Amino acid sequence: MHIGKLIEATHAPFCSLEFFPPADGAQLPDFYATVERLCSLKPLFVSVTYGAGGRRQQNTLNVTRELVRRGLTTMAHLTCVGAQPQSIADFLEELGMAGVDNVLALRGDPPADHSWHWEDAYFQHAADLVRFVRKRQPNMGIGVAAYPAPHPESTTFAEDRRYTAEKLRAGADFAVTQLFFDAREYVELVAQLRAQGITTPVIPGILPVQSFDSLRRMLSLCGANIPGKLYLALEKAHEEGGPEAVRTAGIDYAVTLIRRLLESGAPGVHLYTLNRAEMCLRLMDAVGQM
């Protein structure tokens, strides 16, 4: 089932979940146990990440195939940086044979060794991948990424919004945002897209802060901003109660953020699970009925 159609047909707020395939096959039983626990949230769909630079493509395919077998509407991440058209076409064909009807079309991060060059690339932007998938697999559902705070490589907010709008006009059915911590950033993103005539659903991506170390990693990876109020709350929690108090403060903040997003018209929320059932169950229990 195409996720875009599911979103369109769903009138109540929903949640969706993102998983990453374990690098070690020995971890798969625990991974699938986590998936089963999180099925109690009745996710509208789940997504499976591609791995850094697309190096774990087979893991993505195997896990995605199994989640489909378990009855979950599943979306595979697909990055195109450094990829050739035939390799993308082959992967799309494999996904189709596995019963996967949806992909999240991403540019991906260039290799750290600088071996990738823009001028030589067939796919220079995610919009190129969206157009390619739409042409090669016209019945495939396509999602794209959006950034409440601009992508780190964008020079201005306006430029970032133009690129986002281009991806959506190229044939995407919906967008999922990078994680963020200020509901106003999401509201402004949607408003600016609507001002460009884009009516495509935009799902906010949520990841509660688990620790100061995880916060630093998140900020370094995605370039998100952290409101001073949240940082001070986490700092106070750490001083008064240590790591567990930080986790509680992070979840409390995420609960408030989700409620504000739903009140502002978000169709649902996409949880970055980190393959941790307890965190997500605790968060959604606190949010209450959706």
| Active-site annotation, residues | 18
Among residues 159, 154, 151, 142, which one has the least CA distance to residue 178?
151
Helix (H, G, I), strand (E, B) or coil at 103: strand
Beta strands 141-146; 14-19: pairing state: unpaired
Q: 245 forms bridges with which residues in the sheet?
A: none
Q: Distance (Å, rounded) from C-alpha 48 to C-alpha 199?
A: 25
Secondary structure (DSSP) of 205-252: EE-----HHHHHHHHHHH-----HHHHHHHHHHHHHHHHHHHHHHHHH
Q: Distance (Å, rounded) from C-alpha 45 to C-alpha 273?
A: 13
